[in-house]
Structure 1
């Protein structure tokens, strides 16, 4: 099976997940935040003509405003629209992307 082509949403997601303090992307309270691609979805990233929305979870103990600022900076070169960062949750700093808590 061929791997899906990387999309703009994938590039945004990868940049966001590389920011220290970000523990994951979040689909929103009702699962409403995401970008639909053929056969899959990128949760937590919504690309629109007028804005880019990024919903994240942040590690406990992080300075939320600093993490949000770093997310905006990481995404700024990838999009041409204003970037809105929403912190949906605060999680254990050792939580892995699958959601389990490490030692």
Structure 2
């Protein structure tokens, strides 16, 4: 895992995708990174193995296409580290509450 990559940076890259509504921590909140003074929900960077991302997506395009774009954006920062993306939910219309 490249040392210079932070969970916050990865979260920003994921949230920049237009089909991503929000990050998701998984059923039990297991997809998260703990940093000094804060927790980044939806991004887990283990010492070894795949980076884990949890998302809620807007169902506006084919999911494989969207997931490929998200992986591509993360590959710029992670290099050859594999990325596992969990789609926790999809939104078919405008999300309630504007988020």
**Smaller-chain TM-score bracket:** 0.7 to 0.9
Larger relative contact order (CA 8 Å, sep ≥ 6): 2
How many residues in Structure 1 have an aligned counterpart in Structure 2? 93
TM-score normalised to structure 2 length: 0.83
Structure 2 equivalent of residue 50 of structure 1? 49
Instruction: Give the corresponding residue for 1:100.
Output: 97
Does the CA-based 8 Å contact 1:17-1:24 persist in structure 2?
A: yes
Q: Which moved more, 1:21-30 or 1:80-89?
A: 80-89
RMSD: 1.8
Correspondences of 1:18-97 after superposition (within 5 Å): 18-48=16-46, 49-80=48-79, 81-95=81-95
